[in-house]
Amino acid sequence: MTGKLLQVIGVIAVLGLVAGSIAGFGILKDRIRVVIEADDTDLGPDPTALLRDDVQVLAGNLTGLQQAVASNFEQLANGLESGAEARHVDVKELQRSVSQLRGQLRQSDSVLAQLQAKVDALQAMQAQVVRAVPVAPEQEQSGNNVEAPVLEVPVASVAEPVAEPVAEPVVEPVIAPAAAKPKRGFLSFSVPSTRLAFDQPQEYQLLPKLCRVGFDAKSTLHDFTGVTSAVTGRFRADFDDGDGLCQGEVIASAGTLKTGVEDRDTNMWEHLDSKNHPQIRFAIERFQAAANGVDVAKRTATGEVVGKMTIRGKTLVLRVPVKIEVDPQQRVVIKGQAKLKLSDYGVPVPSQLGVINMEDEVMVWLALRARAQAEAVK
C-alpha cells in the first residue's frame, strides 16, 4: 500500500514539474530570443563609408596637386624671367669691364712706345759721342792697342725720359652677394592628406562615419555587444610629447546603441536614461605613453588615454589602454578598451525575472579615426 502511494506521489511530482516548465516557457517565450553571431566583434568601420572617405581624400589630394602644379609652373616662369634679367645684368657688367681693360691696354701701349723712342735716342747720342773722341798719331803708327780715353758725358746733358703717369685702373668696391634664399624644387609640394605631423601639436577631427564605440557584456544565456557609430568629437595632441599633450572629447549618442535585439535595446536605453542623458561623454585629459611606446618614424604609439567618462550623468576617471597608428590615407587610428562597472555610474543591471542576469562589469571599447585639420604648430 505504501509503495503504491509513493508511486502516485512520484507521478504527481513529475507531472507538476512538467506543468511548471510549460508554464514558465509560456511566460518567457516572448522575452527570450537566441541570437547566433560571431564571437569576435568587428571593431572596424563600415567598408562603404571607409571607401567613400578614401575617395574624398583622393579628390582632395587631386585638387591640392592641381593647385600645387599651377603654383609651381608660375614659380618656374618667375624664376626663368628673373634668371634672364640677372644674366642680362651680368653681361652688361662684363662688357663694361672689358671696355675698361681695353682702355688701360691702349694707355700702356702708348707709354711703352714713348719709352722705346727715348731709349733709341739715348743709344744714338752715345754713338755720336764715341765717334767724336780724337785718336793720337803715335798710337796709330805703333799699332798698339791703346785704350781710348773715356769721355765722360755729364749726366745732366742727357735728358732722362720722364714716364708719363699711367692711369691706375679703377677698382670698384666688391659688394658681397646677399645670402641666397633656400630654393624650392620645382616638383616639391604637399597635398592635403600629408599634413599630419605625428610628433608635433596638432588639431584632429573625428570622422563620425568611420568611428565606432560600444561595449561587450555577459549574461546568463550568452554574451552580447552594443555598438553605435553616432560618434563626434575632436582633440589636440602631440603623441611624442613628454608631458602627454592630448586634450579633447569623444561624444557618443546613448540612444543609438544597438545590440541586435529590439526589446533588449529598449530596456538598455531605459536603464541608461537616454531621454534625460542623451550623450555618453569621454573628456580626454592626457596621453600617457608606455615605455618606448612611441615610434615617430613608423608613426605608432601605445599607452593609456586618461580622461573622465560620463554615463547617465555620473562622471568618473577612466584609463583606457590604446594603440595609435596612421593608416595609408593619413588618418589617425585609435583603438582601445577598458573595463567598468555599470553600478558605479548608477546604471541598473538588467535582470529578467531573476533567471536571465547580466553581469555588472562590461568592457567598453572604441575604434576611432581622425584627420589632422591644420598644419603642425611650429
Check residues 284 and 97 and name the one with the higher pLDDT.
284
% of the chain beyond a pLDDT of 90: 37
| Domain parsing of the chain, residue ranges | 42-194, 196-378
> What does the pLDDT average to over 156-176?
50
> What does the pLDDT average to over 336-356?
85
- Candidates 320, 365, 315, 318; CA nearest to 345 is 315
Strand partners, 287: 305
DSSP labels for 20-41? HHHHHHHHHTTT-------SS-
Determine the 3-state secondary structure of 19 from DSSP.
Answer: helix
Determine the 3-state secondary structure of 330 from DSSP.
Answer: coil
Q: How far apart are CA 303 and CA 294, in angstroms?
A: 9
Q: How many helices (H) and strands (E) does the chain have?
A: 4, 12
Query: Does residue 232 have a pLDDT over 90?
Result: yes
DSSP labels for 87-134? HHHHHHHHHHHHHHHHHHHHHHHHHHHHHHHHHHHHHHHHHHHHHTS-
Cα torsion through 338, 343, 345, 350, rounded to 10: 90
Q: How far apart are CA 375 and CA 378, in angstroms?
A: 9
Cell matching residue 179: 645670402
Query: Does residue 14 have a pLDDT over 60?
Result: yes
| Cβ contact 305:338 at 8 Å | no
Phi and psi torsions of 25, nearest 5°: -65, -40
Query: Does residue 77 have a pLDDT over 90?
Result: no
Query: Does residue 306 have a pLDDT over 80?
Result: yes
Query: Does residue 215 have a pLDDT over 50?
Result: yes
What contacts 35, CB < 8 A, 6 or more positions away? 222, 224, 260, 261
> What does the pLDDT average to over 357-373?
93
Cell matching residue 368: 576611432
pLDDT at 179: 53
Q: Burial letters for 216-241: b for 16+ Cβ neighbours within 10 Å, e otherwise?
A: bbebeeeebbbbbbbbebbbebbbbb
**Predicted confidence (pLDDT) per residue in 167-208, tens digit:** 555 545 545 555 555 555 555 555 555 567 788 899 999 999
CATH code reported for the domain at 196-378 = 2.40.128.110
Query: Does residue 352 have a pLDDT over 60?
Result: yes
Gyration radius (Cα) of the chain, Å = 51
Query: Does residue 209 have a pLDDT over 80?
Result: yes
Average pLDDT, the chain: 77
**Predicted confidence (pLDDT) per residue in 253-277, tens digit:** 999 999 999 988 999 999 999 999 9
pLDDT at 248: 96
How sure is the predictor about 86, in pLDDT bands with cuts at 50, 70 and 90?
confident
CA distances (Å), origin 244, targets 184, 200, 284, 286, 321: 35, 12, 11, 5, 14
DSSP labels for 214-280? EEEE-BSS--EEEEE--EEEEEEE-TT-TT--EEEEEEEEGGG-B-S-HHHHHHHHHHHTTTT--EE
What contacts 352, CB < 8 A, 6 or more positions away? 28, 31
Each as own residue / partner, the long-range contacts of residues 150-154 (CB below 8 Å, 24 or more positions apart, any chain) are: 153/129
pLDDT at 157: 45
Dihedral sign for Cα atoms in the order 128, 133, 138, 142: negative
Cell matching residue 40: 569576435
- Candidates 162, 219, 170; CA nearest to 351 is 219
With cell 541570437, the residue in question is: 35
Check residues 91 and 288 and name the one with the higher pLDDT.
288
